[in-house]
Amino acid sequence: MVVRTLADAAPDEVRFAELGRRMPGVSQKMLSVTLRSLARDGLVSRRVEPTVPPRVFYRLTGLGLSLEAALAGLRTWAEEHMAEIDRANDATDRELAEG
């Protein structure tokens, strides 16, 4: 049985610490700063649950979802061509080593 209370997160909401876990190498400070600027730009929304300790949930807004969609195309391009770019880089390395 699934129980949902007022304290539960919506399926598309993510808490601060969970975001940090999902992005290894991103410092707490940069996560905080970046989330603030994203919220300021209306790309993410922030919901604070007034408990002790507080829980904060982030989610993409409609605008944020539309950017995610636009970014998907670029991500696909990167995945398809990363190897080719690496080869070009390696070729340059070899030329510099020889010449």
Partner DNA sequence: CGGCATCCCCCACGATACTG
Partner DNA sequence: CAGTATCGTGGGGGATGCCG
Question: Which residues 30-89 are close enough to bind DNA by CB under 7 A?
Answer: 30, 32-33, 35-36, 46, 53-56, 58
Residue 29 in the binding site for DNA (CB under 7 A): yes
**In the complex, least distance from residue 86 CB atom to DNA, rounded to whole angstroms:** 19
Lookup result for tokens 């539960």: 8
Which lies closer to a copy of itself via its Cβ, residue 8 or residue 77?
Answer: 77
What DSSP state is assigned to residue 10? P
Query: Of 77, 73, 57, 70, whose CA–CA distance to 15 is shortest?
Result: 57
Lookup result for tokens 């992005």: 23
Q: Are strands 44-49 and 55-60 parallel, antiparallel or unpaired?
A: antiparallel
Binding site residues, DNA, CB under 7 A? 15-17, 25-30, 32-33, 35-36, 46, 53-56, 58
